[in-house]
């Protein structure tokens, strides 16, 4: 409607229904909130409505099911924390459960279970690195922590495939992750990466495919995140709305 933008879509299934969570950024407040909408058999059921708002900017709503409950880790890097929420009245009713990481701004925190442990991936700026190109890892035995920083952080310095762009996924028995291609600008494209190492010794990946904006993949100026669930795929990009 020209008064806001939506970004960072995450699609999830709950009790046989599909929901998409997004960052909603109203230009009037210049502060992101997490909004959600249901996707029915014929498309969206209404417009996204706010389901989580705090005193700080929120984005990248990483929503997932675990232990029979729905959880969310929204990006709140401006507050210097990574926070965990549980839904008490899904898709709303989000209750703060724990602060997983504090004292550091983490971009687009994304969790995966691998090798018998939980891993949290996100980007951190500082020094010669930025939130566009420096991937950090933390690991834990339990979702509510404690979370331990990887001894090799940053485990990856690469503007092509560091910053998370959606949930990890399995393909052909292998672990994959989408990442932001920031080589020509923030969120300029998407890289699909095969993870070849993820353990206490380090991290490695192969960038297999890169989808870039401004061409056949997407006519606009940016591609940002991609997620899949329940036969639905969601992706966000930007372009001039007047065209």
Residue 119, pLDDT above cutoff 90: yes
Q: Which long-range contacts (CB under 8 A, 24 or more apart) does 157-161 make?
A: 157/129, 157/133, 158/133, 159/132, 159/133, 159/183, 160/191, 160/207, 160/210, 161/191, 161/193, 161/205, 161/207
pLDDT above 70 coverage of the chain, percent: 98
pLDDT at 1: 85
Residue 242, pLDDT above cutoff 80: no
Q: Quickly list DSSP for 56-68.
A: S--EEEEEEEETT
pLDDT at 241: 66
Q: For 213, which DSSP code? A: B
pLDDT digits (tens, 9 = 90+) for 14-59: 999 999 999 999 999 999 999 999 999 999 999 999 999 999 999 9
Q: How many CA atoms lie within 13 A of 118 on its CB side?
A: 15
pLDDT at 214: 81
pLDDT digits (tens, 9 = 90+) for 177-230: 999 999 988 888 999 999 999 999 999 999 999 998 888 878 888 899 999 999
Could you give the dihedral angle defined by the CA atoms of residues 190, 191, 197 and 201, in that order, rounded to the nearest 10 degrees?
Answer: -60
pLDDT digits (tens, 9 = 90+) for 98-118: 999 999 999 999 999 999 999
Over residues 162-190, the mean pLDDT reads 95
Q: Average pLDDT over the chain, rounded to whole?
A: 95
Q: Is the pTM of this model over 0.85?
A: yes
Residue from 61, 53, 1, 60 nearest 29 by CA? 53
pLDDT at 243: 52
């Amino acid at each position: 409607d020209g008064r806001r933008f939506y970004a960072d879509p995450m699609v999830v299934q709950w009790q046989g229904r599909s929901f998409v969570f997004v960052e909603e950024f109203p230009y009037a407040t210049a502060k992101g909130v997490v909004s959600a909408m249901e996707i029915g058999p014929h498309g969206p059921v209404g417009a996204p409505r706010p389901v989580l708002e705090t005193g700080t900017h929120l984005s990248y709503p990483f929503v997932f099911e675990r232990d029979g409950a729905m959880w969310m880790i929204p990006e709140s890097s401006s507050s210097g924390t990574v926070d965990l929420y549980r839904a008490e009245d899904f898709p709303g009713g989000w209750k703060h459960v724990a602060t997983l990481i504090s004292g550091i701004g983490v971009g687009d925190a994304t969790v995966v279970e691998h090798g018998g442990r939980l891993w949290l991936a996100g980007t951190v700026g500082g020094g010669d690195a930025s939130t566009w190109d420096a991937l950090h890892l933390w690991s834990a035995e339990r979702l509510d922590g404690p979370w331990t920083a990887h001894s090799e952080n940053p485990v990856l310095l690469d503007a092509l495939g560091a910053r998370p762009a959606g949930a990890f996924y399995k393909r052909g028995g292998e672990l994959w992750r989408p990442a932001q291609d920031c080589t020509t600008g923030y969120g300029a494209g998407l890289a699909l990466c095969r993870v070849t190492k993820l353990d206490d010794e380090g991290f490695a990946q192969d960038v297999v495919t890169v989808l870039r904006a401004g061409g056949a993949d997407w006519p606009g100026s940016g591609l940002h995140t991609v997620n899949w669930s329940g036969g639905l795929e969601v992706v966000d990009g930007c372009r001039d709305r007047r065209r």
